[in-house]
Amino acid sequence: MTLRLFDSAAREIRDFVPVTPGQVGIYICGLTTQAPPHIGHVRFAVAFDVLRRWLMRGHGYDVTLIRNVTDIDDKILAKSAEAGEDWFALSYRNERLTSEALELLGVLPASYEPRATGHVPEMIELMRVLIEKGHAYPAPDGSGDVYFDVRSWPAYGELTRQKVEDMAAAEDADPRGKHDPRDFALWKGSKPTEPESASWPTPYGVGRPGWHLECSAMARKYLGDTFDIHGGGVDLRFPHHENEQAQSRAAGMGFANYWLHNAWVTISGEKMSKSLGNSLLIAEVTKHARPLAVRYYLTAAHYRSTIEFHAGSLAEAEAAVDRIEGFLRRALPGEHTAQPTGTEILPEDFVAAMDDDLGVSGALAVVHEHVRTGNIALDEDEAEVAAQEARLVIAMTDILGVNPLAPNWSGSDTPGQGEAADALDALVQAQLAARAGARAARDYATADAIRDQLHAVGIQIDDTPTGARWSLVKHGGEN
């Protein structure tokens, strides 16, 4: 069984061979914590969660996944100035919202989530090496900026196959002190308008991390000079990843052996983006579909295919999840939660699909085939066969992060809590039925009173085309 992945540096599918047998190091560029996450922002995390689970469960690798947090940058400073809020408070609030959103969508926690601001010494060391080797220089105007000298590194452009002559100028600093307008900032000197708390001393002046340098420094610290996989959204290929690779290699490191890039979530063909005003926050979307369905929706598309968001396909995802869950609940009555035992022998066609650059649509087709076979077995009173199929479905869906019986979707694996959740659901459903009855009888006062009573105890009701849904009101997580 060989795992094959599309390496966007080589622009071809390559057999995956790790640097160290049995181990895989992955670095993914995390979010710049300038705003609460929208559905596009979390796609990369879901895509790489599937990769990680497959490496671990399908191939038995010991995986170290590092996903950084860019907790300081121009946009964060601009937003904090606008809002009159400390940059670090704004940044940390959005970091927490992002972590909550990822947890809600069943993304396994990273091995570690380093923050840029915590790695200034490592960045200074990288700058020192680059300056010593003649690949970087402090701005001659004493601004505190430090630039990478693109002309000193003939391989610059190799990741995205561009010639330096064809590239636009780097817009990250005043070009006057640069050797070449395409030289990019490793470090950004502080400006008088910026808060003192956003600056750190270096031998080259007081300033703050450049976005590209921070990833090179953090990848090196946690994964070593050469590591296996570097991932991120496709928009990061240039300039961000090109620059990361140039800095690290010019400093003498091997850096990433494979580059994986995920495609966008779009709306009406346009990238979902806060700045374009077409973004849907996770907190919004999960009011209309359960988080498991949203996770399924994001997982079901191949990571290199664009996901064109629309409510209809989210409803289809919900129906697919219901189908899987319905079967599992019938086949495994009494099991509130269920996880793979690790002894299941995965169907060959599932393995083949996943090994082929994470072919999730093929893999999900195998899942649904087994659901069908299992349902037929149940109809024919073959409980044993159905239970076996259910175990396989659990093993396969768990690898994709969409096992409906996984404890994260069902509440908890602590005995008793599943039952408590079921009891609560039964009570709320009875209230919702009474409310629906009152509405049908045009007794809106009673209907509203029921909703208010539920809200008073922390239960939120949302009316959807398929009926009322309830959820526990989240505190402090929706701004």
Residue 235 contact, options Zn ion, ligand ATP, none, Cβ 5-8 Å cut-off depending on partner type: ligand ATP
When asked if residue 41 is in the footprint of ligand ATP (CB under 6 A), the reply is: yes
Is the separation of the CB atoms in 241 and 216 below 8 Å? no
Tell me if 69 contacts Zn ion by CB under 5 A.
Answer: no
For residue 194, say whether it is annotated as part of any ligand binding site.
no
Give me the 217-256 binding string for ligand ATP, x by CB under 6 A, dash otherwise. ---------------xx-xx--------------------
41 phi/psi in degrees, rounded to 5: -60, -30
Q: Is 261 annotated as a binding residue?
A: no
Q: Is 215 annotated as a binding residue?
A: yes
**Residue 261 binds which of ligand ATP, Zn ion, none (CB < 5-8 A, kind-dependent):** none
Residues forming beta bridges with residue 12, ordered by sequence position: 7
φ, ψ of residue 325 to 5 degrees: the values are: -65, -40
Residue 32 within binding range of ligand ATP, rule CB under 6 A: yes
Min dist CB 244 to ligand ATP, Å, is 13
44 lies in the site for ligand ATP, by CB under 6 A: yes
Q: Residue 43, SS3?
A: helix
Residue 29 or 378 having the CB closest to Zn ion: 29
Q: Distance (Å, rounded) from C-alpha 3 to C-alpha 351?
A: 9
Checking phi first, is residue 296 left (phi over 0); if not, alpha (psi -120 to 50) or beta? alpha
From the list ligand ATP, Zn ion, none, partner contacted by residue 400 (C-beta under 5 to 8 A by kind): none
CB 360 within 8 A of CB 317: no
Say how far apart CA 396 and CA 345 lie, in whole Å: 10
Beta strand segments in 398-448, E? none
C-alpha span between 299 and 358 (Å, rounded): 10
Tell me the longest C-alpha to C-alpha distance in the chain. 81
Q: Are 210 and 246 in contact (CB under 8 A)?
A: no
End-to-end CA distance of the chain: 46
**Does the bond joining 239 to the residue before it have cis omega, within 30 degrees of 0?**
yes
Task: Using CB under 6 A, pick the residue from 272, 358, 366, 450 that binds ligand ATP.
Answer: 272
Measured from the CB atom, the residue of 212 and 451 that comes closer to Zn ion is 212
396 binds Zn ion, rule: CB under 5 A: no
- Which range binds Zn ion by CB under 5 A, 29-37, 49-57, 184-192, 431-439? 29-37
Q: Among Zn ion, ligand ATP, none, what binds residue 215 when CB lies within 5 to 8 Å by partner kind?
A: Zn ion
Of Zn ion, ligand ATP, none, which one sits near residue 43, judging by CB under 5 to 8 A according to partner kind?
ligand ATP
Q: Which stretch binds Zn ion (CB under 5 A): 40-48, 72-80, 118-126, 207-215?
A: 207-215
Q: List the binding residues for ATP.
A: 274
Q: List the binding residues.
A: 29, 215, 240, 244, 274
User: Where do contacts with ligand ATP occur on this chain (CB under 6 A)?
Assistant: 29, 31-32, 35, 38, 40-41, 43-44, 232-233, 235-236, 264-265, 271-275, 279
